Structure 1
């Protein structure tokens, strides 16, 4: 089967963020039995070495330069122009930011020449390159990493929006956009049941399949021992707005209360491209910002507890799965545990749930003082990942979805 994969995000190395991790690992699985043509964009930080390494995993790699960021134009006139385009065309600015006419022309010619059997859009922002008539010629699939409508609504509901006025205006537009673009595809993949329910409301007759994220178990081996102590960790790409909000919330609202009980408690923020707001957190006692590290697993193995204090952002969280695979006990919010059965009736206790500062303090304190509970969560977390959340499992489901008629 000839598969045309579209990803405006350069999906390598698969440690940069959730989009790269999911895209690369599904690509890697499909490439074992199918011919992959990957069309992507190069950003300034992408190196020639990374391009050469990605080339090994595909039959053909086609790269276009990333278009200039329209969002860098900060004036009121430019903002009004972007809103007007959204109102008229129904396409959000973050999607238009990635649109390349040259890339579109290449894709059009490739499809019209009959060179592919399936088109996959890796992340919904790539839907813009799929013409409505394509699905009459080939199977078209959109891999929705998370619903942007749900994310915007959640940010407004939780008070985590960086621009509430803008987002209140955008919300009905995002609903219309998500409903419209889904109609172009033969099939839709989502990462959680929650996203499936939302998109099914928009498209009740569409084929929507839940394919969760996975973990590379070789990259995240199970820890050899429990280090004890009072070391907290958060992992993730630190230029991501949801991650920035999570660590700022934790440092400001939770960590001081933890340190009032455990004066030696530390909080390591591990991940690439830390934003200025994240770097500024180093001024707080016990906070360490590492930036990009060679092995996230090594840092996880040294931690007592991994916290995932997400207040926004839909979809299953790679960071949660990776910490579970590494055997680190987890305290996380509902958003951080989305798509995972970790507690409740007839479910092995696999993580502790917290959404408010007192809940975080109690859960973390409980783990700090209870080695048996740490061991229980560690063991159950690894077992859950091995049974349900590997990239081989996700890849098989994705391959099946590509093959269906």
Structure 2
């Protein structure tokens, strides 16, 4: 398993959550060599904890973040244009890792190789799949994300992304062809690959929840307490927190004077920290237990305006039983409403829709109970890491002659 992002502890973020939990499930039945890069903030204790789940942990130093400046940015774009590889992928490349992997494939050391997140594709040569099964576990389409951010005006850098978009499309179409199997998290990403006319087999494997870490809450706290969760250094979550806090929260507070909003997530950006200046908004930063904060909330709001893939934050809120009001982006990959589908969350994409959905939940305890029970049952039956790990194992083992 290759993942440039060190996956422990799994509370660090979306990539870590998915990677570690699939690794954990696979480790019960297979010997795993895990290759990753160590950033400066990774502790010795975290390294030792990860070693418990693998046969061998291969560590390489993680490169420093790219330098800023107009000339540097121009050089990165020029390299993207020439090589066809995005800067966020190429900057992670380490020739020592490539040499190690080439030797391992040449020596037939492994039965299969998985790339946990699409950025790790850079180490997989097209020739590998003639000798070994290679799988890319793509967490979400970079091209789809960029395209949607441009369409919705949520792009962090409109000029840059407008230039990047056709290059990202070319990149994804090329990269996916070199793998034996592709794994995506949602049907929407699956449809995107069909549009690319890629002939590599594709499987949909959503994210999951550890139900021991996110237990179902014992009671409905009532009141008018909102919560927003997620890594608050990620541009998509920053935009969501700022949008809701500045455009919707003040309107709701006129209707519910005792309204509170707690924004929970590690490494809050300066713009998120500043939101705490708004009366009755609390920004916590990293907390020991996300479930504990979710249990105290009346409603969980997931006001994402961009970003693709199935959201861990949505699954976690469903697991603990807090009623959800979320955008289409926050609910991607999940069946929460519609014909013959039990109501599991309320959908909102405009300010008016958020106002109505949240008000309905505040004022209707029975509706809160319905969403709570339906969502928990849905997660238990479709989104546990135990069941998803078994599905991933089948994908890896299919047509793979394991020793």
Q: Give the superposition deviation at 1:204.
A: 3.5
In the alignment, what sits opposite 2:269? 275
Of residues 363, 367, 370, the one that matches 2:364 is: 370
Of residues 82, 86, 93, the one that matches 2:87 is: 93
In the alignment, what sits opposite 2:246? 252
Tell me which stretches of 4 or more aligned residues in structure 1 moved more than 6 Å: none
Alignment of 1:103-252 (within 5 A): 103-252=97-246
- Residues 90-112 of structure 1 show CA distances to partners (whole Å, capped at 9, x for unaligned) of 00001012111112211111121
SS at match of 1:133: helix
Q: Give the superposition deviation at 1:286.
A: 1.2
Aligned-residue Cα RMSD (Å) equals 0.8
- Residues 66-103 of structure 1 show CA distances to partners (whole Å, capped at 9, x for unaligned) of 11222xx2222111110110000000001012111112
Does 1:396 pair with 2:393?
A: no
- Residues 354-403 of structure 1 show CA distances to partners (whole Å, capped at 9, x for unaligned) of 00111101100110111000000000000000010110121111101000
Provide the aligned length of Structure 1 versus Structure 2.
Answer: 399
In the alignment, what sits opposite 1:19? 15
SS at match of 2:318: helix
Alignment of 1:217-366 (within 5 A): 217-366=211-360
Of residues 42, 57, 60, the one that matches 1:61 is: 57
In the alignment, what sits opposite 2:32? 36
SS at match of 1:35: coil
SS at match of 2:274: helix
Q: Distance in 2 between matches of 1:375 and 1:99?
A: 49
Structure 2 contact 34–58 (Cα < 8 Å) conserved: yes
SS at match of 2:178: coil
User: What are the ranges of 5 or more consecutive residues in structure 1 without an aligned counterpart?
Assistant: none
Structure 2 contact 304–330 (Cα < 8 Å) conserved: yes
Structure 2 contact 177–198 (Cα < 8 Å) conserved: no
Q: Distance in 1 between matches of 2:38 and 2:240?
A: 29
Q: Distance in 1 between matches of 2:197 and 2:96?
A: 31
Q: Distance in 1 between matches of 2:354 and 2:364?
A: 15
Q: Distance in 2 between matches of 1:150 and 1:28?
A: 29
Structure 1 contact 182–203 (Cα < 8 Å) conserved: no
Structure 2 contact 176–198 (Cα < 8 Å) conserved: no
Structure 2 contact 136–182 (Cα < 8 Å) conserved: yes
Q: Distance in 2 between matches of 1:203 and 1:26?
A: 28
TM-score between both structures, scaled by the size of structure 1? 0.97
Q: Distance in 2 between matches of 1:99 and 1:205?
A: 27
Deviates further, 231-240 or 325-334: 231-240
In the alignment, what sits opposite 2:44? 48
Q: Give the superposition deviation at 1:201.
A: 1.7
Q: Distance in 1 between matches of 2:269 and 2:59?
A: 27
Structure 1 contact 183–203 (Cα < 8 Å) conserved: no
SS at match of 1:15: helix
Q: Give the superposition deviation at 1:263.
A: 1.0
Q: Distance in 2 between matches of 1:272 and 1:74?
A: 24
Q: Give the superposition deviation at 1:278.
A: 0.9
